[in-house]
């Protein structure tokens, strides 16, 4: 259930915490953010320390109105202006030349800043009441599954976060689309809810993927968004055979699929997430968290379709497979846990 607005007392507590240099978790339409006052370097460092996040990895600054961009951005290209007008408030992060006052801890030491205006009403409540930028990566340990519910944040951090604003489930469930607008070029650096075709409809040519000339951005590590349980991506036609063979060997296996199994096995936990990309993405992290707690030796995830509706999901799963893999080779050592 989505809770649209927080109480005045909740917002005041969160604002006080931010002004005191403490951390606040809050919902956005994408995932929950772990926020600090972006103008307080010591507070932002607490985010890095709590998440165990590398100092070179930049964070996204959240603001509530485009008119405040000049506090954070040195210059705004015509393409950036078009994208901001088309998709803000919303799940788009723009990477732009940073203003002089922006601290290195926010940018990972780079000359760029990642910035967005979220659309979630509770996030906007908080930003409006705070009156400044909030530096907020996803509210989870670095490299692990993003939080899409307040209880996920609580599970990750307990009392280490001063205030957790509960907005229920996030609307989208996957992190924002990241686009850089630098040196006259528009480049898609992380897929999200805003698709490549939508970007091109606004600005025309859009390059795809990072190169040596573009800055580091959140979520760009090869291993990311990972459960603790080793994860493998498997073609749909192989799922049942693998489940059968591993189950007969006494191994507990978890499966995240787009359909029901052909046959059930006592030692296989099977989640049918459906064939709709929007619903699959919305539930992805919650489903993986559930399967991660199922006591299984490995998570098998059905390979998703190749069209752009699944781009963000495919990106997250590919990184999760790298981050969670405990071995190499195609399905090598699948399911190392054996039932007693």
Burial 156-183 (b: 16+ CB within 10 A, else e): bbeeebbbbbbbebbbbbbbbbbbbbbe
11, 40, 47 from 149: Cα distances, Å: 18, 27, 19
Q: Round the average pLDDT of the chain to a whole number and report it.
A: 92
pLDDT in tens, 252-267: 999 999 999 999 888 9
Quote the percentage of the chain above a pLDDT of 70. Answer: 94
Domain extent listing, the chain: 8-208, 231-324
Report CA dihedral (292, 157, 169, 261) to the nearest 10 degrees: 0
Second CATH level (architecture) for the domain 231-324: 3-Layer(aba) Sandwich (3.40)
What superfamily would CATH give domain 8-208?
DHBP synthase (3.90.870.10)
Crossing angle between the packed helical segments 78-87 and 196-203, to the nearest 10 degrees: 130
pLDDT in tens, 6-32: 999 999 999 999 999 999 999 999 999
Q: CB under 8 Å, gap of 24 or more: what pairs does 80-87 form?
A: 80/181, 82/202, 82/203, 83/179, 83/181, 83/186, 83/199, 83/202, 83/203, 84/117, 86/202, 87/194, 87/198, 87/202
pLDDT in tens, 54-88: 999 999 999 999 999 999 999 999 999 999 999 99
What gap in Å lies between CA 310 and CA 195, rounded to an integer?
10
Q: Provide CB contacts within 8 A for 211, sequence distance 6+.
A: none
pTM: 0.93
pLDDT in tens, 91-136: 999 999 999 999 999 999 999 999 999 999 999 999 999 999 999 9
Q: Provide CB contacts within 8 A for 237, sequence distance 6+.
A: none
Contact predicate 99/74, CB 8 Å: yes
Tokens of 61: 């600054």
Tokens of 113: 């800043």
Tokens of 157: 């951090």
Contact predicate 37/106, CB 8 Å: no
What gap in Å lies between CA 331 and CA 194, rounded to an integer?
32
pLDDT band at 329 (very low <50, low <70, confident <90, very high): very low
Among 52, 79, 51, 200, residue whose Cα is nearest residue 140: 51
Among 236, 250, 215, 273, residue whose Cα is nearest residue 338: 250
Beta-carbon count within 10 A of 136 CB: 27
pLDDT band at 251 (very low <50, low <70, confident <90, very high): confident
What gap in Å lies between CA 83 and CA 267, rounded to an integer?
49
Which residue has better confidence, 334 or 296? 296
């Amino acid at each position: 259930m989505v809770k649209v607005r927080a109480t005045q007392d909740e917002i005041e507590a969160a604002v006080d915490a931010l002004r005191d240099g403490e951390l606040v978790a809050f919902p956005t339409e994408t995932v929950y953010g772990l926020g600090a006052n972006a103008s307080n370097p010591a507070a932002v460092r607490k985010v890095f320390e709590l998440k165990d996040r590398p100092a070179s990895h930049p964070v996204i600054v959240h603001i509530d109105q485009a008119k405040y961009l000049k506090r954070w951005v040195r210059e705004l290209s015509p393409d950036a202006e078009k994208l901001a007008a088309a998709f803000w408030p919303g799940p788009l992060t723009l990477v732009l030349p940073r203003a002089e006052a922006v601290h290195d801890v926010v940018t990972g030491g780079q000359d760029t800043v990642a910035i967005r205006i979220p659309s979630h009403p509770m996030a906007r409540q908080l930003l409006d009441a705070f009156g400044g930028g909030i530096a907020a990566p996803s509210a989870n340990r670095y490299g692990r599954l993003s939080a899409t519910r307040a209880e996920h944040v609580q599970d990750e951090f307990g009392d280490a976060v001063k205030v957790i604003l509960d907005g229920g489930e996030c609307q989208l469930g996957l992190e924002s689309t990241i686009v850089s607008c630098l040196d006259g070029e528009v480049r898609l650096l992380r897929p999200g809810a805003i698709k490549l075709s939508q970007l091109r409809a606004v600005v025309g040519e859009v390059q795809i993927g990072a190169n040596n000339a573009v800055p580091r951005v959140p979520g760009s590590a090869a291993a990311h968004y990972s459960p603790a349980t080793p994860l493998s991506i498997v073609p749909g036609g192989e799922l049942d055979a693998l489940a059968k063979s591993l189950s007969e060997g006494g191994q507990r296996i978890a499966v995240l699929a787009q359909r029901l199994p052909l046959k059930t096995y006592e030692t296989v936990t099977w989640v049918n997430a459906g064939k709709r990309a929007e619903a699959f993405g919305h539930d992805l992290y919650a489903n993986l968290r559930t399967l991660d707690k199922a006591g299984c030796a490995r998570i098998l995830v059905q390979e998703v379709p190749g069209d752009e509706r699944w781009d963000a999901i495919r990106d997250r799963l590919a990184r999760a497979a790298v981050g969670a893999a405990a071995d190499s080779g195609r399905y090598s050592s699948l399911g190392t846990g054996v039932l007693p």
